[in-house]
Amino acid sequence: MIAIWVRSTVDWSDEQVFLAQAPADLPPKVELWNETFTIPFHLFRLRVRQIAEGNLARVEGAVCAAWEEIPGGALVLPVDDDDWFAPDVAVELGRLLDPAFAGYYWTASWVEVPTRLGHNVYLWRRRLLPWTPPKWQCSTNNYALLKGDGTEPFLANHVQASGWFGAHPQKVLKVDRPLSLTNRTLASRTTLRAPRPSLSRRELLGKYRRYRTLYDRPPRPELAWSRPYLEQMAELMRELELR
């Protein structure tokens, strides 16, 4: 069995429920967002999740399941509720399944605006020097791991997963093609936190201007499957107007 596990269980449809679950630093940013834009924060995130759900529904050969529904020994693909997989990710991994390996990973791909100067420098370095190693071997959704005793922390957290993958290279297989895309939106917590935990209206508007055209760029040929989701995100950003 190959299962997709969506880590987040946030109820974006109910603002009060969402705020009750939110980290302490997020409500002030949500208030600023709602004062600035025509689409409330929670409804924007709901639309983002719905786009991702449309993507996951088109993945062949995998089931979306809650953690407790996934049997031991299943290959689990973790993902946040705003990111996407290639439609044949499960087919490709099923073809490569081998008892010798417990983990599988591929090069991470992102659609994003740099969060800070250092992040921008890092991205340019990787473009100019492709052999530059990534900060983390496992990122949001570029890996899969067999479910077993003690594996939940690795599937729940990409930093812990990177530690396990790095410590067990003999149990890990590198897949030669990108099978996912991480969608770091304007409403992503990482975007709203950078470059510091607090956020001013001026900083938010600067990020907004950069995100307005992000999704209009055509995907790389190997990520052509992501075009429908990029178009949906582009439409969402066009609908997000200033008050």
H helices of 71-151, in order, are: 89-96, 117-128
Which residues touch 98 (CB under 8 Å, ≥6 apart)?
173
The beta-carbon contacts of 216-220 under 8 Å, at least 24 apart in sequence, are 219/181, 220/109
Per-residue model confidence as pLDDT tens digits over 93-115:
999 999 999 999 999 999 988 76
Average pLDDT of span 122-146? 74
Q: Which of 138, 114, 105 lies closest to 190 in space, CA to CA?
A: 114
Token look-up 């990108």 returns 178
Distance CA 38, CA 139 (A): 32
Helix (H, G, I), strand (E, B) or coil at 212: coil
Q: Which of residues 104 and 129 earns the better pLDDT score?
A: 104
Q: Which of 88, 96, 41 lies closest to 226 in space, CA to CA?
A: 88
* Interior angle at CA 50, CA 112 and CA 92, nearest 5: 70
Q: Which of residues 11 and 119 earns the better pLDDT score?
A: 11
- Residue 63: φ, ψ to 5°: -120, 140
pLDDT at 121 over 70: no
Structure confidence at residue 25 (pLDDT): 87
Range from 84-93, 131-140, 149-158 carrying the lowest mean pLDDT: 131-140
- Residue 211: φ, ψ to 5°: -80, -20
Structure confidence at residue 236 (pLDDT): 98
Q: Which of 59, 64, 96, 106 lies closest to 222 in space, CA to CA?
A: 106
Mean confidence (pLDDT) of the chain: 91
pLDDT at 128 over 60: no
Question: What tokens does 62 get?
Answer: 């995998």
Structure confidence at residue 118 (pLDDT): 59
Per-residue model confidence as pLDDT tens digits over 38-91:
999 999 999 999 999 999 999 999 999 999 999 999 999 999 999 999 999 999
Distance CA 164, CA 151 (A): 10
pLDDT at 9 over 90: no
Per-residue model confidence as pLDDT tens digits over 167-201:
999 999 999 999 999 999 999 988 998 767 789 99
Distance CA 230, CA 215 (A): 5
pLDDT band for position 135 (cuts 50, 70, 90): confident
- The sign of the torsion formed by the CA atoms of 149, 105, 122, 232 equals negative
H helices of the chain, in order, are: 15-21, 26-36, 41-56, 89-96, 117-128, 152-156, 158-167, 189-193, 201-211, 227-239
Structure confidence at residue 119 (pLDDT): 55
Structure confidence at residue 195 (pLDDT): 66
- Omega of the bond leading into 195 within 30 degrees of 0 (cis): yes
Q: Which of 234, 193, 229, 191 lies closest to 212 in space, CA to CA?
A: 234
Structure confidence at residue 24 (pLDDT): 87
Average pLDDT of span 16-34? 92
- Residue 187: φ, ψ to 5°: -95, 5
Q: What is the pTM of this model?
A: 0.91
Structure confidence at residue 229 (pLDDT): 98
Structure confidence at residue 112 (pLDDT): 86
Per-residue model confidence as pLDDT tens digits over 217-229:
999 999 999 999 9
